[in-house]
Structure 1
Amino acid sequence: MQHASHPDIVKRLKRAHGHLAGVIAMIEEGRPCVDLAQQLHAVESAITNAKRVMIQDHMEHCLADGVGHGGKSAKDALSEFKAMAKYL
């Protein structure tokens, strides 16, 4: 299912992909560890932000709207939330 947030998530992941490719190139070039750590931090942040946006979107649209419009029972929504919570 495509959500409105998915294009933003893809953009964030592409940014992380670019940073990761840069880190690999930096390692191969023998760049200083401080530079590598900085770029790895950027990769980690981009992935964390993408995950956060995806989980928030899921909670707002799949869980809340599903229960609100009769698509899911509260029990089913809670079970789904618990499954998602392990990735927070």
Structure 2
Amino acid sequence: MSEHHHVHKQRKQVVNRLARIEGHVRSIKEMANEERDCSEILLQIAAVRKALDSTAKVLLKDHLESCVVDAVHHGNQDKVL
């Protein structure tokens, strides 16, 4: 993995979102162990998928604004893209 030498403005937000998602997934696992209704579990899985998608969008925006812009400024855009 390459080392980054520029600021990722949304890193803390991404990490916080992932921590919430991690807790949500643990609670879904508990629901399954408790033999809760399948529809309830599926609904919670859908919520986690949406949360992951939202987090991915934040991360992608951060990547475009930091990694890609930095690469362009340093002539490395082909490598990053």
Shorter chain as denominator, the TM-score bin is 0.7 to 0.9
Residues in 2 aligned to 1:38 and 1:22: alpha-carbon distance in whole angstroms:
13
Distance 2:19 2:63 in 1: 20
Taking only aligned residues, the RMSD between alpha carbons, in angstroms, comes to 1.6
Question: Structure 1 residue aligned with 2:39, among 23, 34, 38?
Answer: 34
2:71–2:80 Cα contact (<8 Å) kept: no
Which residue number corresponds to residue 80 of structure 1? 80
Task: Please give the per-residue CA displacement for 1:42-67, whole angstroms capped at 9, x wherever unaligned.
Answer: 11112111111111111111212442
Give the structure with the larger helix fraction. 1
Partner amino acid, structure 2, of 1:46: A
Uncovered stretches (5+) of structure 1, i.e. residues with no partner: 82-88
Taking structure 2 as the reference length, the TM-score comes to 0.80
TM-score by length of 1: 0.74
Which aligned segments of 4 or more residues in structure 1 are displaced greater than 3 angstroms?
Answer: none
- Residue 78 of structure 1 deviates from its aligned partner by 4.2
What's 2:59 paired with? 54
**Which residue number in structure 2 is paired with residue 84 of structure 1?**
none
User: What is the aligned partner in structure 1 of residue 13 from structure 2?
Assistant: 8
Distance in 1 of aligned mates of 2:79 and 2:30: 43
Counterpart residue identity of residue 34, structure 1? S
- Which consecutive unaligned segments of at least 5 residues does structure 2 have? none
1:22 maps onto 2:27 in alignment: yes
Q: How many residues were matched structurally?
A: 76
Identity of aligned residues (%): 29
